[in-house]
């Protein structure tokens, strides 16, 4: 994380809390945060207003007055905290730093101060995230360079036939296949585990071995998992442990706990370099 639901939550925070505000100051504390950026200095945004906020896959796009835009990728550990002048705090993304703790944190790498004294804090414990400032006219080309697949939340582009075609070309396990952003944009570790559990598919199954019935179940499950995550403002995972709300997450980060469907102990295995959770009964391994 942050994955699509967490980034969509951040987008909504920006839209609700920051659109219309003018930037008064920039405090960049980690130079490499602004890497591969067509424009080299975030101070070019001072005096400009945020006009809108969009999202493509896990990338946040903010559009500023004067035809400038910023692409932000939160990668593994990015967090955005907005603190209003009255002290009200709205936080989304990675759970570190503590959303209720003091700011700036030692992992806070950027602070944006607005004309009404609202402050936006960007923190990133792992330092993998990035910001890119560019002319707004270049955004479409920049996003196209990622070759993102269709959004997993729905739309005409995300249909069963296309999912079947893309998975049918891959002999690798279905979980790493789904983590490929060219297959489904925005899916990450948490929501792939949830979708595969709901669809009753073992994460190690070869992607090209799934039947059309299984593809149909997986297609529905991907939309369900992402929509549930968005409804909750992101899955609640703290120190590698899930804190389910209304039964979600049902599987991810719950090693050794009972499956909510059948009561079998949840198993964690490494798969494609990622910790993977599944239920041995609901998601049997066909080779076992």
**Helix residue ranges, H only, the chain:** 4-17, 139-144, 160-168, 174-179, 189-199, 212-232
Residue 36 — φ and ψ, nearest 5°? Answer: 55, 35
Neighbours of 118 (CB within 10 A): 18
Q: 179-198 as b/e, with b when 16 or more CB fall inside 10 Å?
A: bbbebbbbbbbbbbbbbbbb
Identify the CATH number of the domain defined by range 4-144: 3.20.190.10
Round to whole Å and give the CA distance between 45 and 248: 39
Q: Give pLDDT tens digits for 259-277.
A: 999 999 999 999 988 999 9
Cα separation, 62 vs 53, in Å, equals 4
Domain with CATH 3.20.190.10 in the chain: 4-144
- Cβ atoms of 33 and 216 within 8 Å: the answer is no
> Could you report how far apart the first and last alpha carbons of the chain are, in Å?
31
Residues recognised as catalytic: 2-3, 58, 274
pLDDT tens for each residue of 77-130: 999 999 999 999 999 999 999 999 999 999 999 999 999 999 999 999 999 999
pTM over 0.85: yes
Nearest to 7 by CA among 51, 60, 52, 54: 60
Per-residue pLDDT reduced to its tens digit, 10-38: 999 999 999 999 999 999 999 999 999 99
Residues of the chain with CATH 1.10.8.50: 160-278
Q: How far apart are CA 151 and CA 7, in angstroms?
A: 13
Cα–Cα nearest to 232, from 4, 3, 5 = 5
Look up residue 184 and give its two tokens: 């489904």
Fold that domain 160-278 belongs to in CATH: Helicase, Ruva Protein; domain 3 (1.10.8)
Tens digits of residue pLDDT in 178-235: 999 999 999 999 999 999 999 999 999 999 999 999 999 999 999 999 999 999 999 8
Distance CA 51, CA 159 (A): 32
């Amino acid at each position: 994380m942050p994955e699509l639901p967490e980034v969509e939550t951040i987008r909504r925070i920006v839209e609700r809390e920051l659109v219309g505000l003018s930037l008064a100051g920039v405090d960049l504390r980690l130079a490499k945060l602004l890497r591969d950026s067509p424009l080299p200095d975030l101070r070019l945004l001072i005096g400009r207003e945020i006009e809108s906020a969009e999202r493509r896959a896990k990338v946040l796009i903010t559009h500023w007055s004067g035809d400038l835009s910023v692409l932000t990728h939160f990668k593994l550990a990015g967090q955005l905290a907005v603190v209003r002048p009255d002290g009200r705090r709205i936080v989304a993304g990675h759970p570190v730093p503590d959303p209720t703790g003091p700011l700036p944190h030692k992992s806070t790498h950027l602070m944006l101060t607005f004309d009404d004294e609202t402050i936006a804090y960007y923190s990133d414990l792992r330092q993998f995230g990035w910001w890119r400032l560019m002319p707004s006219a270049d955004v479409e080309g920049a996003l196209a360079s990622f070759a993102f697949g269709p959004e997993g939340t729905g739309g005409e582009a995300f249909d069963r036939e296309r999912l079947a075609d893309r998975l049918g070309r891959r002999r690798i396990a279905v979980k790493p296949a789904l983590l490929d952003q060219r297959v489904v944009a925005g899916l990450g570790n948490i929501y792939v585990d949830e979708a595969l559990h709901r669809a009753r598919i073992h994460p190690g199954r070869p992607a090209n071995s799934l039947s059309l019935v299984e593809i149909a179940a997986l297609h529905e499950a991907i939309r369900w998992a992402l929509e549930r995550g968005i409804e909750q403002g992101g899955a609640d995972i703290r120190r590698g442990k899930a804190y389910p709300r209304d039964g979600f997450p049902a599987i991810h980060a719950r090693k050794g706990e009972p499956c909510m469907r059948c009561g079998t102990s949840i198993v964690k295995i490494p798969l494609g370099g990622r910790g993977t959770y599944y239920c041995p009964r609901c998601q049997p391994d066909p080779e076992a």
